[in-house]
Structure 1
């Protein structure tokens, strides 16, 4: 056990250095350069060299105590910057998944809904054109089928389901929940903790890695925002900020896509095992909408929506109550 704890501590220390301390040290260096050069001499390396020489020649610069204090201060500043970037990353992840019911989020969500609606109208029109061009025995016009595939791809690029979130990432993560519910009538939020216990180690590792990549992209966005702040005093930091933010957004989209696909795949491949373990489904049967509805009712333990037969009084409930599963 001691060896295990020691190895765990070593790995955590390595991750802390890689994820927070080293990027934090780079950020502190950029802030230092920004404070010395400013906008007026943004690329004046001779000015920076003169400043460094002045520090090296200052009285007491070579004393051990001064060196230790400066090193400790630099490490503390780097660690603080890393923690600030991590905190900003948490906020960014929340914004990506926000529902957008008020303020700018509401406007962005409405804009995405309109884009998806127009794209879907193109899909409907393309399908109609394919149906009208179908002439037996040759089938539909190849050009019409190509236009339909292109329209479908444009619609899917916006969102696999009707768009309803301010960001592409929020819609893609939401789409995983809706697609699972549409296929199996399963409440993914209630199923997931039990499904995680049923997953084999390789599947857990894949999901953990995908989630870590998603969080890392949010943290990288936090770094980009911090560099954007430094750009107020030193314009080259703005270039770094733009590149960092663009890279973070591309990575975040890829990570969100991979994470959503893996979540759906986990339900497809191992949802039946949860239903079987709960006694809802025979071992030889596959998960379907009927068994998925029963799994959701059991896992939510919601007697208000799914009363036991002996608890029913015969008085009809609210309209549509049985469909809330």
Structure 2
């Protein structure tokens, strides 16, 4: 047990150092340079060297307080900056998945809805053109089919489902919920704890890694925002912020897409097992009826139970 706890503490310390302290030390160094040089002497390496020489001379003259302050203050400030970035990353995650009910986010949500509606209208027009151009033996115009594919790709780039959220990431994560509900009547919010317990360890590891990558992208966005704020005092920090935010934007989209795909795949592969374990379906096939029954069992409310009962309802045939 001592060896296990020692190894666990070592790994925790390594992760703490890699995720918080080292990026925090870089940020503290940037803040220090910004406070010494400012905008006018932003790239004055000589001025920075002279300031460091003055600190060294003060310590050599017997002022040990400066050395103690640096030795104790830099790690503490680095850890504090890392914790601040982690907290800001949490709010970035919440902002990405926000529903757009707040006033500042509502215009963005409306803009995305209009963009998706225009793209979907183009898909509908080209689909109609493909159908009209089909002649025996049912061969559509190749140019119309290519245009239809391009229109579908453009629509999917905006959102896989009707856009409702103010951010692309929010709609991509929401699409996982909407798509499994349309396919199986699965309430993903109610299913998720049971699904997490039912999937094998390898699947949980993949999902955990995908979520860790998503959170890492949110923290990188938070660091970019901190450097952007520092750019008000030292303009090179704004360049660092631009590169950091651009990298975070690419990584966050890729991480959100991978996480949503893995969640859908987990439902596709293991949803029937949950339905069988809960006795909702014995056929081994996850369909809309079985998904609605399991959702009713897991939600334990009247709304989903009513939906499940509606799927089981078969109207009586009129008597001749």
Quick check: TM above 0.5?
yes
Residues 233 and 145 of structure 1: CA distance in aligned 2, closer, same or farther (over 3 Å): same
TM-superposition CA deviations, 1:152-209 (whole Å, max 9, x none)? 0000000000000000000000010000100000110111111111111111111111
Partner of 2:137: 137
8 Å Cα contact 2:93/2:215 also seen in 1: yes
What is the DSSP-based 3-state SS (H/G/I as helix, E as strand, rest coil) of the residue aligned with 1:103? coil
Rounded Cα–Cα distance in structure 2 between residues aligned with 1:202 and 1:64: 54
8 Å Cα contact 1:187/1:296 also seen in 2: yes
Rounded Cα–Cα distance in structure 2 between residues aligned with 1:53 and 1:299: 67
| Aligned Cα root-mean-square deviation (Å) | 1.8
TM-superposition CA deviations, 1:36-81 (whole Å, max 9, x none)? 1000101110110111111111155677775344211100000000
Partner of 2:235: 235
What is the DSSP-based 3-state SS (H/G/I as helix, E as strand, rest coil) of the residue aligned with 1:164? coil
Rounded Cα–Cα distance in structure 1 between residues aligned with 2:74 and 2:53: 18
8 Å Cα contact 1:90/1:218 also seen in 2: yes
Rounded Cα–Cα distance in structure 1 between residues aligned with 2:217 and 2:249: 7
Q: Does 1:295 align with 2:299?
A: no
8 Å Cα contact 2:275/2:290 also seen in 1: yes
Residues 274 and 29 of structure 1: CA distance in aligned 2, closer, same or farther (over 3 Å): same
Rounded Cα–Cα distance in structure 2 between residues aligned with 1:124 and 1:323: 31
Shift of 1:306: 3.1
Shift of 1:9: 1.5
Shift of 1:303: 4.7
What is the DSSP-based 3-state SS (H/G/I as helix, E as strand, rest coil) of the residue aligned with 1:98? coil
What is the DSSP-based 3-state SS (H/G/I as helix, E as strand, rest coil) of the residue aligned with 1:88? helix
Partner of 1:18: 18
What is the DSSP-based 3-state SS (H/G/I as helix, E as strand, rest coil) of the residue aligned with 1:162? coil
Q: Does 1:123 align with 2:131?
A: no
TM-superposition CA deviations, 1:233-257 (whole Å, max 9, x none)? 1000000011111111110000000
Structure 1 residue runs without a partner (length 5+): 308-319
8 Å Cα contact 2:227/2:238 also seen in 1: yes
Q: 5 Å matches for 1:1-325?
A: 1-60=1-60, 66-137=66-137, 139-282=139-282, 284-303=283-302, 306=305
8 Å Cα contact 1:275/1:291 also seen in 2: yes
Rounded Cα–Cα distance in structure 1 between residues aligned with 2:88 and 2:145: 46
Rounded Cα–Cα distance in structure 1 between residues aligned with 2:23 and 2:242: 16
Rounded Cα–Cα distance in structure 2 between residues aligned with 1:220 and 1:59: 36
Rounded Cα–Cα distance in structure 1 between residues aligned with 2:128 and 2:36: 66
Rounded Cα–Cα distance in structure 1 between residues aligned with 2:221 and 2:102: 23
What is the DSSP-based 3-state SS (H/G/I as helix, E as strand, rest coil) of the residue aligned with 1:57? helix
TM-score after normalising by structure 2: 0.93
Rounded Cα–Cα distance in structure 2 between residues aligned with 1:264 and 1:93: 20
Rounded Cα–Cα distance in structure 1 between residues aligned with 2:55 and 2:310: 72
Shift of 1:138: 5.7
With 297-306 and 99-108 compared, the bigger mean Cα shift is at 297-306
Rounded Cα–Cα distance in structure 2 between residues aligned with 1:61 and 1:263: 62
What is the DSSP-based 3-state SS (H/G/I as helix, E as strand, rest coil) of the residue aligned with 1:219? helix
